[in-house]
Amino acid sequence: MDFFEAVDARYSYRDEFTDDAVPKEDLDKIVRAGLAAPSGCNKQTTTFVCVTDPELVAKIADLQTMKACKTAKAFICCCIDREPEAAYKEFSFQVEDCAAAVENMLLAISALGYASVWIDGGLRVDGRAEKLGELLGVPESKVVRVMLPVGRPVSDGPRRDKMPFGERAWFDRHG
C-alpha cells in the first residue's frame, strides 16, 4: 500500500477485532514508524510499551469500555513526562511529539491491514492512565497519554465524512 492509500485507509475503528494475533514483528514495524516521527528539537520525548501478553491485554481491556479495547489482541501505549523539560526556550513539545508518533503509527497500522483508534480522553478519567501505568511498570515520572488497541477488524467500519478542502484549506489566505 502506498502512502496516500494508507492515509485514505486510516480511520478510527471502534468495533470488535478478530481473534488473529498481531505478530511482534508487525508491532515492531508500527512502533518504528512512531520512532521515526519528528520531535521538537529532536528531544524524542515519547516512549512506547507494546502489550501482547494475553493476561496483560485482558487487564487493560477491563479498564476500558470500547469494543475495540475489549477485543484487541495488542496495545501500544505512548508515554510522556508528567513534568516536561523545556526543549526550546520555555516550551515543551512532548504532546506534539507524541501526536506525531501516534499518527505515523496509525498510518503504519492501516498499511499493514490492521485497524486502531486513538484513545486519549478515555485515559484521563477514573484514574485509567495511572492504573494502566501501574500495570505496565511505567515510572512515576511518566504518564500513559495515548493508547492504541491493535487488531484485524471484524468488518470495514464506518468512516465519518471529512469536510471539503475549501472549508478547511486555502491557498495564500485563510478563508
Residue 68: its H or E element? helix 67-71
160 has pLDDT over 90 = no
Interatomic CA distance for residues 150 and 172, integer angstroms = 39
- Helices assigned H by DSSP within 52-163: 54-62, 67-71, 94-111, 128-136
- What is the value of pTM for the model shown? 0.93
Residue-wise pLDDT for 80-104, tens only, equals 999 888 999 999 999 999 999 999 9
Q: How many residues in the chain?
A: 175
Class of domain 3-9+22-154: alpha beta
Task: Return the pLDDT at 133.
Answer: 96
Q: How many other β-carbons are positioned within 10 Å of the β-carbon of residue 137?
A: 7
Interatomic CA distance for residues 25 and 41, integer angstroms = 29
- List the chain domain ranges: 3-9+22-154
Averaged pLDDT of the chain: 93
Residues 157-162: what's their mean pLDDT? Answer: 82
pLDDT over 90 for what percent of the chain?
77
Task: Return the pLDDT at 9.
Answer: 86
Phi and psi of 83, rounded to 5°? -120, 90
Rounded to 5°, angle at Cα 121 from 117 and 122? 75
Pairing mode, if any, of strands 47-51 and 74-81?
antiparallel
Residue-wise pLDDT for 132-150, tens only, equals 999 999 999 999 999 999 9
Residue-wise pLDDT for 105-133, tens only, equals 999 999 999 999 999 988 898 999 999 99
Tell me the HSE value of 7 on the side-chain side, using a 13 A CA sphere: 4
